[in-house]
Amino acid sequence: MSEQEQEPLTIQPAQAALLTPYLPPPPPASSPSHSTNPKKIHVTLTYAQSLDSSLALAPGLRTVLSGAQSKAMTHFLRSRHAAILVGAGTAVADDPGLNSRLSSGSGAGSQPRPVVLDPRARWAVHEGSKVIRHARDGKGLAPFVLVDQDRFGMELGDASGVDEGRRRVLESVGGRYIPLKARGPNGRFEWVDVLAVLEREGLGSVMIEGGGEVINSLLAPPGNGLVDSVIVTIAPTWLGRGGVVVSPPRMRGEEGAHATPVRLTDVSCCPFGEDVVLCGRILR
C-alpha cells in the first residue's frame, strides 16, 4: 500500500456543515431489533462525475475524477454511514478499500460496513484485496457480499456458484456471503430486498457509491423512491464519448407520454478544491 493511501484525510468544518443536513441522523440509543420496513434505512446516493456526466472512460476502467478535497469529503461521508455499497463491477475494476481514512480531528465517525452486490458471484475476493487487508489490519470492516441464493446453494467447485476459497477469505476477517433472491430484470436484485437485508443486519444507513448500473437504477423509478439524499462531485473535465455515463432510463407515463423527469430539490453546492459538490433530495 502506498504512503498516500495510508495518510489520514481532513475536511474543513464549514464543508462538513454543508453536508450534514443531507446525512443520516445519529442512531437512537435503542432501536427495534428487526423490521421488514426498508425505509428505516437512510439511503445516500453519491458519486463523482465529469462535466459530461461520465463516471469512467470505459466499462471496467478505473478513472480518477475527485481531487484531494472532494476525496476527503467522500471519506467523511463514509464515516457517517453504517454501510457503504458498491456493485460487483466496481469491486472487480477498482479493488476498492471501502473504508474511511478521515482523521479523528475531522469529526470522523465509525467505519462503514462494506457491502458488495454480486448476484453472479464474479468478484474474485482474495487475501490481497484492499478491503480484506484493511479488515485484517483494523483499518476497516470486512465486507458482506450479496449473491443470488440460487448460486449460493450450488455444490462447491461449480464454476457458477460461490467459490469456497473466497468464502474462507471473507469469513476469516468477519465478512460473509449473504444469499438473496435476484428477483429483478436480468438477474439483478430488487432494491427493496437489498435494503431489507441491510436493515436485518442492523445497518441503519447506507452510502451507495456505484457503479454506473447501480447509480442509474436508483435514479429511475421505483429505485429513486428509496433515496433520501444525493451528493454529486462534479470534476472540471470532459471524458468524451464512449464512457460509463450517468443517464437513467427515460420513463413513460400513461398512453406513452414522457413521465416527469427526475429532479433534485433542497439543493446546495460548494467548491471542494477545483471540484464542485452538489447536494439535494429527489423531488417526490
pLDDT tens-digit series, residues 161-217: 688 999 999 999 999 999 999 999 889 999 999 999 999 999 999 999 989 999 999
- What average pLDDT does range 86-115 have in this prediction? 86
Angle (CA) 141-6-51 rounded to 5° is 90
Total-model pTM = 0.89
pLDDT at residue 39, rounded to an integer: 58
**Which of 142-146, 161-165, 221-225, 252-256 is predicted least confidently?**
252-256
- What average pLDDT does range 99-103 have in this prediction? 90
**59 burial level (CB within 10 Å; 0-12, 13-18, 19+):** middle
Res. 268: pLDDT tops 90: yes
pLDDT at residue 84, rounded to an integer: 98
- What average pLDDT does range 244-259 have in this prediction? 79
Give the whole-number percent of the chain exceeding pLDDT 70: 86
Query: Sorting pLDDT into bands at 50, 70 and 90, what band is 110?
Result: confident
DSSP 225: G
The secondary structure of 68-93, three-state, reads HHHHHHHHHHHHCCCEEEEEHHHHHH
Query: Sorting pLDDT into bands at 50, 70 and 90, what band is 156?
Result: very low
| CA-based nearest residue to 145, from 198, 219, 93 | 198
Top CATH class of 10-20+39-248+259-282 equals: alpha beta
- What average pLDDT does range 93-105 have in this prediction? 87
pLDDT at residue 80, rounded to an integer: 94
**92 burial level (CB within 10 Å; 0-12, 13-18, 19+):** middle
| CA-based nearest residue to 9, from 78, 75, 80, 59 | 75
Contact 231, 279 (CB under 8 A): yes
DSSP 41: S
pLDDT at residue 33, rounded to an integer: 43
Average pLDDT value over all residues in the chain: 88
If you search the block for the grid coordinates 439483478, which residue do you land on?
188
pLDDT tens-digit series, residues 31-45: 444 444 445 899 999
Res. 251: pLDDT tops 90: no
